[in-house]
Amino acid sequence: MVYPDKILLAIESSCDDTSAAVLQGNKILSNFIANQAIHEEYGGVVPELASREHQKNIVPVVKKALDMAGLEKSDLDGIAFTQGPGLMGSLMVGGSFAKSLALGLNLPLYAVHHMHAHILAHFIEDAGESAPEFPFLCLTVSGGHTQIVLLRSAVDMEIIGQTIDDAAGEAFDKTAKIMGMPYPGGPLIDQFSKEGNPHAFRFSRARLEGFDFSFSGFKTSVLRLLEKEMRNDDQFIERNKADLCASIQFTIVDTLLQTMESAALKHGITQIAIAGGVSANSGLRNGIQELAKRRDWKAFIPKFEYCTDNAAMIAMAGMFQLMHEREVPLNIPNNARLEF
Ligand code: KG4
Ligand code: ZN
Protein backbone atom coordinates (compact mmCIF):
# COMPACT_ATOMS: atom_id res chain seq x y z
CA MET A 1 0.00 0.00 0.00
CA VAL A 2 1.20 3.53 -0.77
CA TYR A 3 0.59 6.11 1.93
CA PRO A 4 0.40 9.87 1.38
CA ASP A 5 3.37 11.91 2.57
CA LYS A 6 1.27 13.68 5.20
CA ILE A 7 1.91 14.21 8.90
CA LEU A 8 -0.84 13.61 11.45
CA LEU A 9 -0.95 14.30 15.17
CA ALA A 10 -3.28 11.92 17.00
CA ILE A 11 -4.76 11.97 20.50
CA GLU A 12 -6.12 8.96 22.40
CA SER A 13 -7.96 9.44 25.72
CA SER A 14 -10.76 6.85 25.73
CA CYS A 15 -9.98 5.27 29.07
CA ASP A 16 -7.16 5.82 31.57
CA ASP A 17 -4.16 6.49 29.33
CA THR A 18 -3.44 9.90 27.82
CA SER A 19 -1.50 9.44 24.60
CA ALA A 20 -0.34 11.52 21.65
CA ALA A 21 1.50 10.35 18.54
CA VAL A 22 2.88 11.78 15.32
CA LEU A 23 2.69 9.75 12.11
CA GLN A 24 4.11 10.42 8.65
CA GLY A 25 2.59 8.16 5.97
CA ASN A 26 2.56 4.90 7.95
CA LYS A 27 5.74 5.65 9.88
CA ILE A 28 5.48 6.54 13.57
CA LEU A 29 7.67 9.52 14.49
CA SER A 30 6.61 9.54 18.15
CA ASN A 31 4.13 7.75 20.40
CA PHE A 32 3.97 9.01 23.97
CA ILE A 33 1.73 7.57 26.68
CA ALA A 34 1.04 8.88 30.21
CA ASN A 35 -0.45 6.10 32.36
CA GLN A 36 -2.70 6.88 35.32
CA ALA A 37 -1.49 5.04 38.43
CA ILE A 38 -4.26 6.69 40.48
CA HIS A 39 -6.80 3.91 39.68
CA GLU A 40 -4.75 1.03 41.09
CA GLU A 41 -6.00 1.43 44.65
CA TYR A 42 -9.65 1.32 43.47
CA GLY A 43 -9.38 -2.01 41.61
CA GLY A 44 -10.58 -0.46 38.34
CA VAL A 45 -10.75 2.78 36.42
CA VAL A 46 -12.69 5.57 38.18
CA PRO A 47 -14.20 7.66 35.33
CA GLU A 48 -14.23 11.02 37.16
CA LEU A 49 -10.60 10.64 38.23
CA ALA A 50 -9.62 9.53 34.71
CA SER A 51 -11.01 12.67 33.04
CA ARG A 52 -9.30 14.90 35.62
CA GLU A 53 -5.98 13.16 35.00
CA HIS A 54 -6.44 13.58 31.23
CA GLN A 55 -6.93 17.32 31.80
CA LYS A 56 -3.64 17.48 33.68
CA ASN A 57 -1.80 15.35 31.11
CA ILE A 58 -3.07 16.48 27.74
CA VAL A 59 -0.94 19.61 27.19
CA PRO A 60 2.42 18.09 28.27
CA VAL A 61 1.67 14.81 26.46
CA VAL A 62 0.97 16.53 23.12
CA LYS A 63 4.04 18.73 23.58
CA LYS A 64 6.17 15.67 24.35
CA ALA A 65 4.93 13.85 21.20
CA LEU A 66 5.80 16.86 19.02
CA ASP A 67 9.22 17.24 20.68
CA MET A 68 10.02 13.54 20.29
CA ALA A 69 9.11 13.75 16.61
CA GLY A 70 11.32 16.85 16.30
CA LEU A 71 8.45 18.81 14.79
CA GLU A 72 6.53 22.04 15.31
CA LYS A 73 2.75 22.41 15.21
CA SER A 74 3.18 24.15 11.85
CA ASP A 75 4.57 20.92 10.33
CA LEU A 76 1.27 19.08 10.83
CA ASP A 77 -1.20 18.26 8.03
CA GLY A 78 -4.09 17.07 10.18
CA ILE A 79 -5.37 16.07 13.63
CA ALA A 80 -6.90 12.70 14.52
CA PHE A 81 -8.68 11.84 17.76
CA THR A 82 -10.62 8.99 19.37
CA GLN A 83 -14.31 9.76 18.92
CA GLY A 84 -15.40 6.66 20.90
CA PRO A 85 -16.25 4.23 22.33
CA GLY A 86 -14.94 4.83 25.84
CA LEU A 87 -15.58 6.88 28.97
CA MET A 88 -17.42 10.06 28.01
CA GLY A 89 -15.49 12.43 30.31
CA SER A 90 -12.16 10.99 29.17
CA LEU A 91 -13.07 11.07 25.49
CA MET A 92 -14.18 14.70 25.75
CA VAL A 93 -10.83 15.90 27.07
CA GLY A 94 -8.95 14.48 24.05
CA GLY A 95 -11.75 15.40 21.65
CA SER A 96 -12.01 19.04 22.75
CA PHE A 97 -8.26 19.44 22.64
CA ALA A 98 -8.04 17.90 19.15
CA LYS A 99 -10.82 20.16 17.88
CA SER A 100 -9.21 23.26 19.39
CA LEU A 101 -5.91 22.39 17.73
CA ALA A 102 -7.59 21.78 14.37
CA LEU A 103 -9.44 25.08 14.68
CA GLY A 104 -6.41 27.06 15.84
CA LEU A 105 -4.07 25.61 13.22
CA ASN A 106 -6.73 25.50 10.50
CA LEU A 107 -6.15 21.78 9.90
CA PRO A 108 -8.51 18.97 8.85
CA LEU A 109 -9.91 16.85 11.70
CA TYR A 110 -10.31 13.04 11.56
CA ALA A 111 -12.55 11.13 13.98
CA VAL A 112 -11.43 7.59 14.78
CA HIS A 113 -13.25 4.57 16.22
CA HIS A 114 -11.07 3.18 19.02
CA MET A 115 -11.66 -0.48 18.05
CA HIS A 116 -11.00 0.15 14.34
CA ALA A 117 -7.73 1.73 15.41
CA HIS A 118 -6.66 -1.31 17.45
CA ILE A 119 -6.99 -3.38 14.24
CA LEU A 120 -5.47 -0.83 11.86
CA ALA A 121 -2.36 -0.65 14.08
CA HIS A 122 -1.23 -3.64 11.98
CA PHE A 123 -0.52 -1.23 9.12
CA ILE A 124 1.99 0.88 11.04
CA GLU A 125 5.35 0.40 9.31
CA ASP A 126 7.14 -1.20 12.25
CA ALA A 127 4.11 -3.03 13.73
CA GLY A 128 5.24 -6.40 12.40
CA GLU A 129 7.29 -8.09 9.69
CA SER A 130 4.56 -7.35 7.16
CA ALA A 131 1.01 -6.05 7.16
CA PRO A 132 -1.94 -8.41 6.59
CA GLU A 133 -3.63 -8.40 3.20
CA PHE A 134 -7.38 -8.04 2.76
CA PRO A 135 -9.52 -9.96 3.46
CA PHE A 136 -8.32 -11.04 6.89
CA LEU A 137 -9.79 -11.84 10.29
CA CYS A 138 -8.85 -9.98 13.42
CA LEU A 139 -9.52 -11.12 16.97
CA THR A 140 -9.85 -7.85 18.87
CA VAL A 141 -9.52 -8.39 22.58
CA SER A 142 -9.38 -5.59 25.14
CA GLY A 143 -10.70 -4.61 28.55
CA GLY A 144 -14.06 -3.69 27.06
CA HIS A 145 -14.35 -5.71 23.85
CA THR A 146 -13.97 -9.20 22.43
CA GLN A 147 -14.75 -9.34 18.74
CA ILE A 148 -13.92 -11.35 15.66
CA VAL A 149 -13.82 -8.86 12.82
CA LEU A 150 -13.79 -9.60 9.09
CA LEU A 151 -11.89 -6.89 7.24
CA ARG A 152 -12.57 -6.49 3.54
CA SER A 153 -10.71 -3.16 3.45
CA ALA A 154 -9.44 -0.54 5.92
CA VAL A 155 -12.89 1.06 5.87
CA ASP A 156 -15.04 -2.05 5.42
CA MET A 157 -15.14 -4.12 8.61
CA GLU A 158 -17.80 -6.45 9.96
CA ILE A 159 -18.10 -8.02 13.41
CA ILE A 160 -18.88 -11.72 12.88
CA GLY A 161 -18.62 -12.76 16.53
CA GLN A 162 -18.45 -11.06 19.93
CA THR A 163 -18.89 -11.50 23.64
CA ILE A 164 -22.39 -11.48 25.04
CA ASP A 165 -21.18 -10.55 28.53
CA ASP A 166 -17.61 -10.01 29.82
CA ALA A 167 -14.74 -9.09 27.51
CA ALA A 168 -11.61 -11.27 27.49
CA GLY A 169 -9.67 -8.53 29.31
CA GLU A 170 -12.39 -8.40 31.97
CA ALA A 171 -12.20 -12.18 32.33
CA PHE A 172 -8.47 -11.77 33.08
CA ASP A 173 -8.90 -8.72 35.33
CA LYS A 174 -11.89 -10.04 37.29
CA THR A 175 -10.37 -13.47 37.98
CA ALA A 176 -7.14 -11.73 39.00
CA LYS A 177 -9.15 -9.56 41.39
CA ILE A 178 -10.78 -12.67 42.89
CA MET A 179 -7.23 -13.89 43.60
CA GLY A 180 -6.45 -10.58 45.32
CA MET A 181 -4.30 -9.05 42.58
CA PRO A 182 -4.34 -5.31 41.79
CA TYR A 183 -5.93 -3.83 38.64
CA PRO A 184 -5.26 -4.52 35.81
CA GLY A 185 -4.61 -8.16 36.62
CA GLY A 186 -4.25 -9.40 33.02
CA PRO A 187 -0.51 -8.77 32.74
CA LEU A 188 0.04 -10.31 36.22
CA ILE A 189 -1.79 -13.52 35.28
CA ASP A 190 0.39 -13.66 32.18
CA GLN A 191 3.52 -13.29 34.30
CA PHE A 192 2.60 -15.94 36.93
CA SER A 193 1.41 -18.33 34.18
CA LYS A 194 4.95 -18.79 32.95
CA GLU A 195 5.78 -20.99 35.98
CA GLY A 196 2.46 -22.85 36.06
CA ASN A 197 0.71 -25.92 34.63
CA PRO A 198 -2.11 -24.87 32.25
CA HIS A 199 -3.94 -28.16 32.88
CA ALA A 200 -3.79 -28.12 36.68
CA PHE A 201 -7.37 -26.81 37.04
CA ARG A 202 -10.41 -27.12 34.81
CA PHE A 203 -12.84 -24.24 34.52
CA SER A 204 -16.18 -24.18 32.74
CA ARG A 205 -16.47 -22.85 29.19
CA ALA A 206 -19.51 -21.63 27.31
CA ARG A 207 -20.31 -23.05 23.90
CA LEU A 208 -22.35 -20.56 21.91
CA GLU A 209 -23.90 -20.55 18.47
CA GLY A 210 -21.81 -19.02 15.69
CA PHE A 211 -18.67 -17.19 16.78
CA ASP A 212 -19.89 -15.47 19.94
CA PHE A 213 -18.25 -15.68 23.37
CA SER A 214 -19.41 -15.71 26.99
CA PHE A 215 -17.04 -15.48 29.95
CA SER A 216 -19.43 -14.96 32.88
CA GLY A 217 -19.83 -18.70 33.60
CA PHE A 218 -16.07 -19.13 33.47
CA LYS A 219 -15.59 -16.32 35.99
CA THR A 220 -18.16 -17.88 38.34
CA SER A 221 -16.45 -21.27 38.09
CA VAL A 222 -13.13 -19.71 39.13
CA LEU A 223 -14.86 -18.01 42.06
CA ARG A 224 -16.60 -21.24 43.19
CA LEU A 225 -13.39 -23.28 43.07
CA LEU A 226 -11.47 -20.71 45.09
CA GLU A 227 -14.27 -20.34 47.68
CA LYS A 228 -14.38 -24.11 48.14
CA GLU A 229 -10.61 -24.59 48.43
CA MET A 230 -10.05 -21.55 50.66
CA ARG A 231 -12.48 -23.00 53.23
CA ASN A 232 -10.01 -25.83 53.86
CA ASP A 233 -6.78 -23.95 53.20
CA ASP A 234 -6.59 -20.18 53.42
CA GLN A 235 -3.20 -20.28 51.71
CA PHE A 236 -4.64 -22.13 48.69
CA ILE A 237 -4.34 -19.20 46.26
CA GLU A 238 -0.84 -18.31 47.40
CA ARG A 239 0.31 -21.93 47.16
CA ASN A 240 -1.23 -22.54 43.72
CA LYS A 241 -0.87 -19.10 42.16
CA ALA A 242 1.15 -20.15 39.11
CA ASP A 243 -1.05 -23.17 38.32
CA LEU A 244 -4.24 -21.14 38.83
CA CYS A 245 -2.98 -18.35 36.56
CA ALA A 246 -1.76 -20.77 33.88
CA SER A 247 -5.09 -22.64 33.90
CA ILE A 248 -7.11 -19.40 33.75
CA GLN A 249 -4.97 -18.09 30.89
CA PHE A 250 -5.17 -21.40 29.03
CA THR A 251 -8.98 -21.51 29.27
CA ILE A 252 -9.44 -17.93 28.01
CA VAL A 253 -6.86 -18.20 25.21
CA ASP A 254 -7.99 -21.63 24.04
CA THR A 255 -11.64 -20.48 23.91
CA LEU A 256 -10.65 -17.42 21.86
CA LEU A 257 -8.50 -19.36 19.42
CA GLN A 258 -10.90 -22.27 18.88
CA THR A 259 -13.62 -19.80 17.89
CA MET A 260 -11.20 -17.87 15.69
CA GLU A 261 -10.23 -21.10 13.93
CA SER A 262 -13.88 -22.02 13.22
CA ALA A 263 -14.59 -18.50 11.93
CA ALA A 264 -11.59 -18.53 9.60
CA LEU A 265 -12.55 -21.97 8.25
CA LYS A 266 -16.16 -20.90 7.71
CA HIS A 267 -15.14 -17.74 5.82
CA GLY A 268 -12.26 -19.32 3.90
CA ILE A 269 -9.73 -16.89 5.42
CA THR A 270 -6.06 -17.80 5.77
CA GLN A 271 -4.71 -14.61 7.37
CA ILE A 272 -5.47 -14.17 11.05
CA ALA A 273 -4.54 -11.30 13.32
CA ILE A 274 -4.91 -10.23 16.93
CA ALA A 275 -5.34 -6.72 18.31
CA GLY A 276 -6.21 -4.88 21.52
CA GLY A 277 -4.71 -4.90 25.01
CA VAL A 278 -5.10 -8.65 25.56
CA SER A 279 -3.03 -9.36 22.44
CA ALA A 280 -0.06 -8.44 24.66
CA ASN A 281 -0.74 -11.80 26.37
CA SER A 282 2.10 -14.26 25.76
CA GLY A 283 -0.23 -17.29 25.72
CA LEU A 284 -2.36 -15.71 23.01
CA ARG A 285 0.68 -14.60 21.00
CA ASN A 286 2.16 -18.11 21.06
CA GLY A 287 -1.22 -19.74 20.52
CA ILE A 288 -2.14 -17.84 17.37
CA GLN A 289 1.27 -18.60 15.90
CA GLU A 290 0.84 -22.31 16.61
CA LEU A 291 -2.64 -22.25 15.08
CA ALA A 292 -1.36 -20.57 11.92
CA LYS A 293 1.50 -23.06 11.66
CA ARG A 294 -0.80 -26.06 12.10
CA ARG A 295 -3.21 -24.81 9.42
CA ASP A 296 -0.56 -23.34 7.14
CA TRP A 297 -2.11 -19.87 7.62
CA LYS A 298 -0.39 -16.59 8.33
CA ALA A 299 -0.62 -14.94 11.77
CA PHE A 300 -0.15 -11.22 12.45
CA ILE A 301 0.77 -9.99 15.89
CA PRO A 302 1.39 -6.29 16.42
CA LYS A 303 4.45 -5.09 18.25
CA PHE A 304 3.87 -5.00 22.00
CA GLU A 305 3.64 -1.20 22.31
CA TYR A 306 0.87 -1.01 19.68
CA CYS A 307 -1.32 -3.57 21.52
CA THR A 308 -2.44 -1.67 24.60
CA ASP A 309 -4.05 1.76 24.24
CA ASN A 310 -1.84 4.20 22.35
CA ALA A 311 -2.21 7.16 20.01
CA ALA A 312 -0.05 5.60 17.26
CA MET A 313 -2.96 3.37 16.27
CA ILE A 314 -5.32 6.39 16.28
CA ALA A 315 -2.90 8.17 13.95
CA MET A 316 -2.78 5.17 11.58
CA ALA A 317 -6.59 4.92 11.50
CA GLY A 318 -6.70 8.70 10.97
CA MET A 319 -4.38 8.30 7.97
CA PHE A 320 -6.87 5.88 6.39
CA GLN A 321 -9.60 8.47 7.02
CA LEU A 322 -7.43 11.06 5.29
CA MET A 323 -6.81 8.66 2.37
CA HIS A 324 -10.58 8.18 2.01
CA GLU A 325 -11.21 11.93 2.31
CA ARG A 326 -13.26 11.53 5.47
CA GLU A 327 -12.56 14.83 7.18
CA VAL A 328 -15.14 15.62 9.89
CA PRO A 329 -16.66 18.97 10.98
CA LEU A 330 -15.39 20.61 14.19
CA ASN A 331 -18.74 20.20 15.92
CA ILE A 332 -18.64 16.39 15.74
CA PRO A 333 -19.50 15.03 19.20
CA ASN A 334 -17.65 12.31 21.09
CA ASN A 335 -19.73 9.17 21.48
CA ALA A 336 -19.16 6.84 24.44
CA ARG A 337 -21.09 4.09 22.65
CA LEU A 338 -19.95 4.77 19.11
CA GLU A 339 -21.21 2.05 16.79
CA PHE A 340 -18.72 -0.19 15.05
O1 KG4 B 1 -6.96 -2.24 24.77
P2 KG4 B 1 -6.64 -1.95 26.17
O3 KG4 B 1 -5.29 -1.34 26.49
O4 KG4 B 1 -7.71 -1.00 26.80
C5 KG4 B 1 -9.06 -1.12 26.46
O6 KG4 B 1 -9.46 -0.46 25.48
O7 KG4 B 1 -9.74 -1.90 27.16
O8 KG4 B 1 -6.83 -3.30 26.98
C9 KG4 B 1 -6.65 -3.38 28.37
C10 KG4 B 1 -6.88 -4.83 28.80
C11 KG4 B 1 -6.94 -5.01 30.31
O12 KG4 B 1 -8.06 -5.83 30.60
C13 KG4 B 1 -5.62 -5.73 30.62
O14 KG4 B 1 -5.70 -6.57 31.76
C15 KG4 B 1 -5.44 -6.53 29.37
O16 KG4 B 1 -5.81 -5.66 28.32
N17 KG4 B 1 -4.03 -6.96 29.20
C18 KG4 B 1 -3.63 -8.24 29.31
C19 KG4 B 1 -2.23 -8.24 29.13
N20 KG4 B 1 -1.82 -6.95 28.90
C21 KG4 B 1 -2.94 -6.19 28.95
N22 KG4 B 1 -4.33 -9.37 29.54
C23 KG4 B 1 -3.65 -10.52 29.59
N24 KG4 B 1 -2.31 -10.60 29.43
C25 KG4 B 1 -1.56 -9.50 29.19
N26 KG4 B 1 -0.23 -9.60 29.03
ZN1 ZN C 1 -8.23 -0.24 23.69
Tens digit of each residue's pLDDT (9 = 90 or more) over 177-223: 999 999 889 999 999 999 999 999 999 999 898 999 999 999 999 99
Report pTM. 0.93
Which atom of ligand 1 has the smallest separation from the CA of 168? 12
Give the ligand at the shortest distance from the Cα of 146: 1
* Lowest model confidence (mean pLDDT) among 30-39, 116-125, 286-295, 306-315: 30-39
Which atom of ligand 1 has the smallest separation from the CA of 185? 14
Same fold, 7-124+307-323 and 136-301: yes
The H-or-E segment that residue 313 falls in is helix 311-323
Which atom of ligand 1 has the smallest separation from the CA of 183? 14
Cβ(186) – ligand 1 distance below 6 Å: yes
Structural domain boundaries in the chain: 7-124+307-323, 136-301
Cβ(173) – ligand 1 distance below 6 Å: yes
Q: In degrees rounded to 5, what are phi and psi of residue 262?
A: -60, -40
What is the arithmetic mean of pLDDT over 91-105?
A: 98
| Residues forming a β-bridge with 147 | 140, 162
Query: How does residue 235 score in pLDDT terms, banded at 50, 70 and 90?
Result: very high
Q: How far apart are CA 150 and CA 268, in angstroms?
A: 11
Distance from Cα 145 to the centre of ligand 2, integer Å: 8
What is the arithmetic mean of pLDDT over 155-171?
A: 97
Give pLDDT tens digits for 16-25: 999 999 999 9
Q: Are 314 and 82 in contact (CB under 8 A)?
A: yes
Distance from Cα 144 to the centre of ligand 1, integer Å: 9
Q: Are 79 and 102 in contact (CB under 8 A)?
A: yes
* Residue from 36, 90, 172 to probe ligand 1 pocket by mutation (most atoms less than 8 Å from CB): 172
* Secondary structure of residue 16 in the 3-state scheme: coil
Domain 136-301 sits in which CATH superfamily? ATPase, nucleotide binding domain (3.30.420.40)
CATH, domain range 7-124+307-323: 3.30.420.40
Burial of 252 (0-12, 13-18, 19+ CB in 10 A): buried
Q: What angle do CA 121, 125, 127 make, to 5 degrees?
A: 50
Give pLDDT tens digits for 114-135: 999 999 999 999 999 999 999 9
Q: How many residues does the chain have?
A: 340
Q: How far apart are CA 235 and CA 261, in angstroms?
A: 38
What is the arithmetic mean of pLDDT over 27-53?
A: 89
The percent of the chain in helix, strand and coil, each rounded to the nearest 5, is 50, 20, 35
Beta-strand relationship, 271-275 and 298-300 = parallel
